Amino acid sequence: MDARHGKSVPYVISDEVAKTYETLLADVQVKAALQFTEWDHQTTIEDQIRITEIPAPPFMEETRKLYYQACLEGLGLQDVTTDAEGNVFGVRKGSGNGPRIFVSAHLDTVFPEGTDTTVKERDGILYAPGIADDGRGLAVTLAVLRALNHANIQTQGDIIFGATVGEEGLGDLRGVKAFFRDHHVDGFISIEPDSPARVTYLATGSHRYRITYHGPGGHSFGAFGIPSAIHAMGRAIAMISDITVPEVPKTTFTVGTVSGGTSVNTIAAEAQMMIDMRSNSEQALLQLEEEVLRRVRQAAQEENKRWNSDAITIHIELVGNRPAGSQSSDAIIVQAALASAKAIGFEPTLDGPSSTDSNVPISLGIPAVTLGGGGQCGGLHTLQEFYDPTDGHYGVQKVLLTVLGLVGVKDVSDPLLKPTK
Ligand SMILES: [Zn+2]
C-alpha cells in the first residue's frame, strides 16, 4: 500500500444496492457467516502471525507463496495454481451465470532480505515488519473463504481467492499486471490493512525513470573545452524544475536522487538521476512524461552545442510504471463496498487516490476496489510496524459482504455486478 492522499468525498448507495444488502443481511446463512468471523477472529490472527513470520522481500516471495498455496488448498479451493510471475490463486465455483471476481492480498513486503519478521506482542498489540501490510490482507482473504465454507454459502458467481507478488516499490505491480494479462475477471478486490470504513477506488499512477548522461570525461584544466555529463544533467534538472503541471488531476514530479562524477577536478564522464512522476490521470501522466523526456534530451543538446561537440549521450530507463485510472464513485463495486461498511455499523468513507494492486484493473476499465482488512495499524513500511487486532473481524465481514453483494447468493440475491463476457 502506498501513501493515501485527499479527503473523503460524498457517496451514493442506490435503492437496488440497499435492497440487495437488506436481503443478504436477513438471510440465515449470511448471518451464520458473519457470526462465524467473530468466532474465527483468533484463527485469523494466528494466520496473520504465521504468514508475517515467513519473510517475503521484494522479488523473493516464493517461500511465503508456497505456504499460502497450502492454506488455499487446505480450504478446499479448486485448481489452486501458481503462475509464471509467482502469483497463487484458486477458484471457489459459483452456481453459474454470475460474474467472476478476484479477491486478493499481496505476498511481498518492502523489507529487504535479512529483516527480522518475528512477531512480538505487547499489551495486545502485535509488532513486526509487514504484520499489517499485507499480513492482515493475506489473513483476511483466508478468513473470508473460511466463513463462506462454514456457512456453506453457494454464490452465483465464481470467486477466485489468491495472493499477488510485487505490489510494493520496484515490484511495480508485476503480479497483478501478469494476472490481468492472462485472465478475464469482472471485478477485483484487493485487501490491505486499514479500517473497514475505507474504500479506495481511484488509482494514482506513477512513472519512474533512471536517466544517465555519458560524456568523454577529462582533466578539469587539461581537457577543458569538452562537455560534461554533470553539466548536461544540471541543465536538465533546471529545465525540469520549471515544468508546470495541473493541480486537478493532481500531477507531480521530482528529481529524487542524483549521483555522478569522479573527483572535483575531473570533467564528469557520467551523471545519473532518478525521476518520479505521478498523476491521478493516465493522460496527464503521459503528457508530463513526454515533457520531462523532451527536456532531458534538450539538455544534452545544449551542453553539446555549448562546446561544439556531440559527445554527450543519454541512457533512459523506465524503472517504474504504475498505471493511473479512475472510476465513478457510484460504480456498482464502490456502492457494494460502501453499503457493506454501513451494514456492519461503520460510516463509510471514499478515499482519495492511492497506488495499490487495484491500479491495474482500474486502468483497464475493470471494476476494482481496495478495502481495509479491519483492526488498527501504524508504522507501515517501517521496522516499527504494528497491528492492533481489536474488532478486526469487522474487516472480514466488510469484505465478505462486498463479495456476496457482487457475485450474488443462490436463491437469495442476484449479483450486483454484471458479467462482461
Ligand atoms: Zn500493501
The pLDDT, as a whole number, for residue 272 is 98
294 Cα to the center of ligand 1, angstroms: 34
Distance, CA 218 to ligand 1 centroid (Å)? Answer: 47
Distance 364 CA to ligand 1 centre (A): 21
Return the residue matching grid coordinates 509464471. Answer: 84
Q: What percent of the chain has pLDDT over 90?
A: 94
Percent of the chain with pLDDT over 70: 98
Average the pLDDT over 15-29 and give the result: 98
pLDDT of 320-376, one tens digit each? 999 999 999 999 999 999 999 999 999 999 998 999 999 999 999 999 999 999 999
- CA of residue 130 to ligand 1 center, whole Å: 9
Span 15-26, mean pLDDT?
98
CA 372 to ligand 1 center in whole angstroms: 10
- Check whether 9 has a pLDDT greater than 70: no
Q: Is the pLDDT of residue 286 over 70?
A: yes
What are the structural domains of the chain?
15-203+325-407 (3.40.630.10), 205-322 (3.30.70.360)
pLDDT at 66 over 90: yes
Place of cell 481496495: 370
* 141 Cα–ligand 1 center, Å: 13
Residue 212: its H or E element? strand 205-214
Average pLDDT over residues 290-317: 98
**Cα of 381 to ligand 1 centre, how many Å?**
9
The mean per-residue pLDDT over the stretch 113-124 comes to: 97
- Tell me the CA–centroid distance for residue 159 and ligand 1, in Å: 21
Residue 308 pLDDT exceeds 60 = yes
What average pLDDT does this structure show over 147-154?
Answer: 98
pLDDT of residue 296: 98
CA of 36 to the centre of ligand 1 (A): 26
pLDDT attached to residue 386 = 98
Distance 3 CA to ligand 1 centre (A): 10
Ligand 1: centre distance to CA 158 (Å): 25
**Cα 105 to averaged position of ligand 1 atoms, centre (Å):** 8
* Cα distances (Å, whole numbers) of residue 259 to 154, 213, 234, 256: 58, 11, 11, 11
Cis peptide before 134 (omega within 30 of 0): yes
Q: What is the distance in A from the centroid of ligand 1 to the CA of 7?
A: 20
pLDDT value at residue 7: 52
Q: How far is the CA of 370 from the centre of ligand 1 (A)?
A: 10
CA of 176 to the centre of ligand 1 (A): 13
Residue 243 is predicted with a pLDDT of: 98
Ligand 1 center from residue 106 Cα (angstroms)? 7
Q: What is the pLDDT of the chain when averaged over all its residues?
A: 96
Predicted pLDDT at 195: 93
Burial class (CB in 10 A: 0-12, 13-18, 19+), 240: buried
Per-residue pLDDT of 157-211, as tens digits, reads 999 999 999 999 889 999 999 999 999 999 999 999 999 999 999 999 999 999 9
Phi then psi dihedrals of residue 364, to 5 deg: -95, 0
Ligand 1 centroid from CA 137, angstroms: 8
Q: What is the pTM of this model?
A: 0.89
- CA of residue 369 to ligand 1 center, whole Å: 13
What is the end-to-end Cα distance of the chain in Å, rounded? 30
> pLDDT confidence of 6, banded at 50, 70, 90?
very low
The rounded Å distance from CA 42 to ligand 1 centre is: 22
How far is ligand 1, taken at its centre, from the CA of residue 182, in Å? 23
Q: What pLDDT score does 97 carry?
A: 86
Confidence check: pLDDT of 18 > 90? yes
pLDDT band at 420 (very low <50, low <70, confident <90, very high): confident
Residue 118's contacts (CB-CB under 8 Å, 6 or more residues apart) are 53, 128
Question: pLDDT band at 3, cuts 50/70/90?
Answer: very low
Residue 5 — pLDDT band, cuts 50, 70, 90? very low
